[in-house]
Chains A and B, each alone.
Chain A
C-alpha cells in the first residue's frame, strides 16, 4: 500500500488539487482499496452489483438517519460498511475475522512497512 499520505481535503472545498475535473478521485489510499475490493469481488461473482448497491444505499440511509454530531459524510466509509455487511451475510468473511486481523495488524512493530537500511 502506498506510504504517501493524501493531503487533508475539505470534501466540498473550492480549492482541491487538480485531478479529473479538479477533484481527487480517492481522498485517501484506503478508499481506493475498498473501492477496488468491491469491484473485484463483484467481477468474480462473489455478489451481484444490485445486492451491493442495496447494501450501500442501506448504509448511507443509516448514516443519514443517525450519526455523531459534527461527523462529516464519507461515501467510502458507507461503502466499506456495505462491503463488510455483504461479505458477512454471504458468509465469506465475518466481522470478528476482520476485527481479529485488524488487531493483529495493529500489533505490528511500527515501521513494519519501511525498509531499514
Chain B
C-alpha cells in the first residue's frame, strides 16, 4: 500500500507493492553496489546448498557412529566437535546435539518458531519440515503425526520431541537395522535417510 509522507508530500511506493522476485532483485542490486555482496559469492552459496551439502553428510556421521563405538561416544558427548572431525561445520551447524534412538526412546526434531535445521549435516530443510501444520502438531500429538508419516511406534516407546533454536541443532542417530553387521561404513550410510535423521522414519526403511 502506498503511504502519504509529510516529508515528500507524494506517494512513496512501499516494498509490499512489488513481488518477492522484484524485491529480491532490487535488494541484490543495492547490496552489490554498496559492496556488501557479490554475485560470485551468491552463486557459490546457491551451488553449495543445491549440489554439495545434503543428507549424505549426516548419513556418514550416523554410519560412523554405528561402526565406531569411540566415535559414537564422542558424537553423543559433543556433536559439534565430532561432526567437525568429518569436516561438517559452518552456518547452522554451530551447536549440534546428537540424539540416539533406542528400542525405548524415539527422538523427533522440529523447529516450532521457524525452521532451524542442521544445514551442514542435512542440507536445507524439506518443505514438510517448514510447514506450519508439522511445526504445530508434532509437539502436541507426535504419535499421530509420526503415524501419518508411516511410522507406527508401539505404546511402550517413549517419543521425545526436540525443539530446535537458533543455538541448538539436533541430529537423530537412528537405530542400526538388524542384520547389517557385515556392512561397510559406506554401505551403512546408504541405509540412513534424511527423514530418519529428523526422526520421522527408521533407518533402512525408506518408503
A residues adjacent to B (C-beta < 8 A):
1, 11-12, 20-21, 23, 25-26, 28-37, 39-44, 46, 49-50, 53-54, 56-57, 60-61, 64, 73-77, 80, 83-84, 87, 92-93, 95-103, 105-106
Within 8 A of A (CB), among B124-142: 124, 126-128, 130-132
Which residue of A28, A31, A53, A105 contacts B114 across the interface (Cβ within 8 Å)? A53
Within 8 A of A (CB), among B40-55: 41-43, 45-46, 49-50, 54-55
- Pair A64/B45 contact, Cβ less than 8 Å: no
- Pair A84/B113 contact, Cβ less than 8 Å: no
CA distance A100 to B41 in the complex (A): 25
Note all chain B residues with C-beta closer than 8 A to A41.
31, 36-37
- Pair B46/A36 contact, Cβ less than 8 Å: yes
CA distance A35 to B50 in the complex (A): 11
CA distance A64 to B161 in the complex (A): 22
Which applies to chain A's interface (DSSP): helix, strand, loop or mixed?
A: helix
Closest 7 CB pairs of A and B: A53-B166, A101-B26, A57-B113, A36-B42, A99-B13, A30-B21, A102-B26
What's the minimum C-beta distance from B57 to chain A, rounded to whole angstroms? 12
CA distance A54 to B167 in the complex (A): 11
B15-37 CB mask vs A (1 if < 8 Å, else 0) is 10110111111111111001011
What's the minimum C-beta distance from A71 to chain B, rounded to whole angstroms? 12
B115 within 8 A of A: yes
Which applies to chain B's interface (DSSP): helix, strand, loop or mixed?
A: helix
- Pair B114/A60 contact, Cβ less than 8 Å: yes
CA distance A105 to B55 in the complex (A): 38
What's the minimum C-beta distance from A94 to chain B, rounded to whole angstroms? 9
B residues adjacent to A (C-beta < 8 A):
12-15, 17-18, 20-31, 34, 36-37, 41-43, 45-46, 49-50, 54-55, 91-92, 94, 113-116, 123-124, 126-128, 130-132, 165-167, 193-195
**What are 24 A-B pairs with beta-carbon distances under 8 A?**
A20-B55, A21-B193, A25-B124, A29-B21, A30-B20, A30-B21, A33-B28, A35-B46, A36-B41, A39-B45, A40-B41, A40-B45, A46-B36, A50-B166, A53-B165, A54-B166, A84-B23, A92-B34, A93-B27, A93-B34, A96-B13, A96-B14, A98-B27, A102-B18
| A84 and B27 contact, Cβ closer than 8 Å, known pairs A21-B55, A54-B166 | yes
- Pair A37/B37 contact, Cβ less than 8 Å: yes
- Pair A93/B25 contact, Cβ less than 8 Å: no
Which residue of A21, A25, A29, A50 contacts B49 across the interface (Cβ within 8 Å)? A25
